[in-house]
Amino acid sequence: MIDLFSSDTPNGKKISIMLEEIGFEYVVKKMDLSKGDQFKEDFKKISPFSKIPAIIDHSNNKESVFESGAILIYLAEKSGKFYEKENKLKIDQWLMAQMGSIGPFIGQYHFFYKFNKGLSEVGEKRYFEMTKKVYEVLENHLSKNNYLAGENYSIADIATWPWIARHQWHDIGLKNYDNLCDWYIRIADRPAVVKGYKFLDKNSEIPKP
């Protein structure tokens, strides 16, 4: 059994989707970020930077893991799924691209444009352009590949898809990017993705392109 400490964010959805994909039993420990649950001392013992998601694996001596990318690798290696040995280098590159570029760029755009509109014109413009660049890079890459690391679905896709699932916030237009849109729909149609997306709200619906 795995305890999943999470909230309804793209990073949180990465892990619920992965757990559904590999069929591991888990219990959600909902974190209310608006109330500062992430800063409580008990949680900081699991996640030192007070970030969600984090997990505790009760089947592995209550091993705890923080950082969503590390959790995906841990679960992939434990399950033997979505992390092909012969393709790890490509998977790792695209997973790290999500962790280091895609997530931070889009996350900052959310901060300035969605939650603090008008606070900084420079911030809005900068991160709009960077988010648009993310769409362009993914569109070009997916014109030659079915999935981020090649022909097979992997933890790189699981990491990236929840950020594109907030495309309605971006005012960029997912439909303008045919290959990215096809990839998005292909993943959105997976039953485990649908279930993982709804892990905190059974009534939530995956946004259409």
**pLDDT tens, N- to C-terminus, the chain (209 residues):** 999 999 999 999 999 999 999 999 999 999 999 999 999 999 999 999 999 999 999 999 999 999 999 999 999 999 999 999 999 999 999 999 999 999 999 999 999 998 999 999 999 999 999 999 999 999 999 999 999 999 999 999 999 999 999 999 998 999 999 999 999 999 999 999 999 999 999 999 999 99
Domains of the chain, with CATH numbers?
2-81 (3.40.30.10), 85-194 (1.20.1050.10)
State the SS3 of 41-99: HHHHCCCCCCCCCEEEECCCCCEEEECHHHHHHHHHHHHCCCCCHHHHHHHHHHHHHHH
User: What does DSSP say about strands 63-66 and 26-30: parallel, antiparallel, or unpaired?
Assistant: unpaired
As a whole number of angstroms, the distance between CA 192 and CA 116 comes to 33
CA distances to 25, 104, 132, 137 from 126, in Å: 41, 13, 10, 17
Bond into 53 cis (ω within 30) = yes
- From the list 126, 3, 143, 18, the residue with the least C-alpha distance to 68 is 18
**Residues forming a β-bridge with 55:** 4, 65
CB 131 within 8 A of CB 173: no
Please give the model's pTM, rounded to 2 decimal places: 0.96
CB 161 within 8 A of CB 102: no
Question: Taking the alpha carbons of 146, 21, 9, 98 in that order, is the dihedral positive or negative?
Answer: negative
**Residue 163 token pair:** 């950020």
